[in-house]
């Protein structure tokens, strides 16, 4: 069996005295889209933050064969993990172009960066006309797409995507998931996506984990989970 791209084993995380994750184990293989579902406060966002080192954590986290349980966020970017955080992490006072450039901040291959920029603008053609605009003036949906485009500028091996649908109109959300799907199919991009909208998450992913109170409650292939009686009742509402 090939080694997973990302593997978490019994990962715990805490905010001060508050324990947010009680031993989570999950994995993402190369070229796979994996969804993490769950109610508010179940630990979805914390799971991503634990991977990139934005929260105090313990347990084993391995990325591309390297132990990263003690790595800082700055180091994770250098390993090729692009984290699109909750709230999109837009650098509001900077221009759209500057936001994109910073996506490739840790890269040294200038030619490759330019090439990637062109390729990425192919997915988000409107970004080109708005390049000089302050990113804070974009709409929520546009900022989410900018955040995704910026993440791609890293030429990441893994994208951590934190609730891309939050606060967005269904059509915009659908467009974002369509682009994620296309990136995965065409370029084999691996994505770990946190999402409250279970229908969307199952649609976009091949496997999924359902979190409850900081633990994995159910896991399996997305098709399986979609048919699972209790998952359906709790998260799909029918």
Q: Which residues bind other proteins (CB under 8 A)?
A: 52, 54, 72-74, 76-78, 82-83, 85, 87, 89-94, 98, 101-103, 105-106, 136-137, 150, 154
Take residue 171 and report the two structure tokens written for it: 């059509």
Nearer to other proteins, 46 or 52 (CB): 52
Smallest gap from residue 4 Cβ to other proteins (A): 22
Smallest gap from residue 52 Cβ to other proteins (A): 6
Smallest gap from residue 88 Cβ to other proteins (A): 8
Name the DSSP class of 30.
T
Nearer to other proteins, 153 or 210 (CB): 153
Nearer to other proteins, 137 or 230 (CB): 137
Calpha distance 82→76 (Å, rounded): 8
Q: Does residue 38 contact residue 213 with C-beta atoms inside 8 Å?
A: no
Calpha distance 145→151 (Å, rounded): 10
Distances (CA, A) of 67 to 6, 147, 150: 10, 27, 26
Nearer to other proteins, 72 or 230 (CB): 72
Smallest gap from residue 238 Cβ to other proteins (A): 33
Residues 6+ apart with CB under 8 A from 113: 104, 107, 153
């Amino acid at each position: 069996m090939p080694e997973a791209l990302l593997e978490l084993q019994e990962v715990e995380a805490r905010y001060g005295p508050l324990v947010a994750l009680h031993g989570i184990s999950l994995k993402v293989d190369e070229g796979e889209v994996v969804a993490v579902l769950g109610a508010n406060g179940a630990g979805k966002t914390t799971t991503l933050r634990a991977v990139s080192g934005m929260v105090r954590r313990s347990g084993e986290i391995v990325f591309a064969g390297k132990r990263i349980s003690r790595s800082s966020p700055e180091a994770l970017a250098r390993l090729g993990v692009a984290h699109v955080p909750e709230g999109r992490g837009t650098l509001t006072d900077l221009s759209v172009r500057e936001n994109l450039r910073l996506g490739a901040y840790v890269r040294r291959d200038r030619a490759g960066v330019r090439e990637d920029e062109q390729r990425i603008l192919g997915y988000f053609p409107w970004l080109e006309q708005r390049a000089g605009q302050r990113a804070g003036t974009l709409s929520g949906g546009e900022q989410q797409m900018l955040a995704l485009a910026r993440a791609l500028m890293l030429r990441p091996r893994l994208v951590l995507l934190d609730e891309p649908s939050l606060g967005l109109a269904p059509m915009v959300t659908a467009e974002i998931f369509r682009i994620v799907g296309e990136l995965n199919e065409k370029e084999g991009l691996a994505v770990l996506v946190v999402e409250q909208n279970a229908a969307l998450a199952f649609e976009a992913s091949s496997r999924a984990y359902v979190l409850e109170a900081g633990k994995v409650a159910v896991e399996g292939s997305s098709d399986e989970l979609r048919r699972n009686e209790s998952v359906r009742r709790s998260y799909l509402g029918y």
